[in-house]
Amino acid sequence: MRAEREGDEAVDVDGDGAELRSEIGRLLTFSDAVFAIIITLLVLDLRAPEAPPGRMSRALLDQWPAYLAYVTSYLVVAVSWLSHKGTFRRVVRADPGLHGWNLTVLFGTALLPFVTSIVSRALQHGDRADERVTTGLYGLVGVLLSIGWLGLYHHLSRSRALLHPRVPPRVFAVERGRGLVGLVGFGAAGLAGVLVDPVVALAIFLVLPVFYALSSNGLFDLQRRLRRQPARR
């Protein structure tokens, strides 16, 4: 270990910018691939129903919770990817903490197809108790995901060395607010699903990605800029 540390010491592979960019480059390629897989895995839960001849249309209609679950989760993952893009646009270097939080965000996102499928199954084949448990679990995974984002934003707000020189860390201190909304929103939805009514939980699950889409950095400051400088050449 000691010797390894020394060996590394002598090496300053990241002396020039090129290598550094490629390092954040792999984080982005890996994350893009994970998001792309998660968003397409969701469609695997949409399966041809094994209906007897002549009963296909009825069997397809009975799958409506699966379609709703698919649309909701597609929105959540798409918005997560847009947030990820909007965040890492400002980042030029990675450190272990950033990798750790990024992997936490991906871990939470990767659980979405699973909790989506159990909610969908409970709505199709379960009773009220099943719906309560599963919407509760969906909320729990949402809370985990929000903690990942909160940690990521918090870490970046304290790591000027990782940011593009013109990006004030304060930007990410403010972003934490959006993480908190998720934490509270998913937590409340999960509790409402367990204690009040699963329908309330589902409504909040649909509203949250809309909020994120509307408040996302990646989406709106670019829009604003284009509005002001409508035609560059």
Helix axes 128-157, 198-215, angle to 10 degrees: 30
Q: At what angle do helices 217-228 and 64-88 cross, to 10 degrees?
A: 60
**Cβ closest to a copy of itself, residue 130 vs residue 197:** 130
Closer of 42 and 204 to a copy of itself (Cβ): 42
Least separation in angstroms between residue 145's CB and a copy of itself is 14
- Cβ neighbours of residue 217 closer than 8 Å, sequence gap 6 or more: 83, 86, 87, 171, 175
CB of 108 to a copy of itself, least distance (A): 11
To the nearest 10 degrees (0 to 180), the angle between helices 64-88 and 17-41 is 170
Residue closer to a copy of itself, measured from CB, 90 or 185: 90
Residue 139 φ/ψ region, left for φ over 0, alpha for ψ in the -120 to 50 degree band, beta for the rest: alpha
Closer of 133 and 188 to a copy of itself (Cβ): 133
Work out the widest C-alpha separation in the chain, in whole angstroms. 73
Query: Shortest approach of a copy of itself to residue 159 CB, angstroms?
Result: 8
**Residue 111 or residue 202: which is nearer to a copy of itself going by CB?**
111
In the chain, where does DSSP find H-type helix?
Answer: 2-10, 17-41, 56-62, 64-88, 96-110, 112-125, 128-157, 170-191, 198-215, 217-228
Cβ of residue 112: shortest distance to a copy of itself, in angstroms?
9
Closest distance of CB 137 from a copy of itself, Å: 7
Residue (206 or 215) nearer to a copy of itself, CB = 215
- Shortest Å, Cβ 187 to a copy of itself: 19
Q: Encode burial over 165-175: b for 16+ CB neighbours within 10 A, e otherwise.
A: eebeeeebeeb
Give, rounded to a whole angstrom, the gap between the first and last alpha carbons of the chain. 57
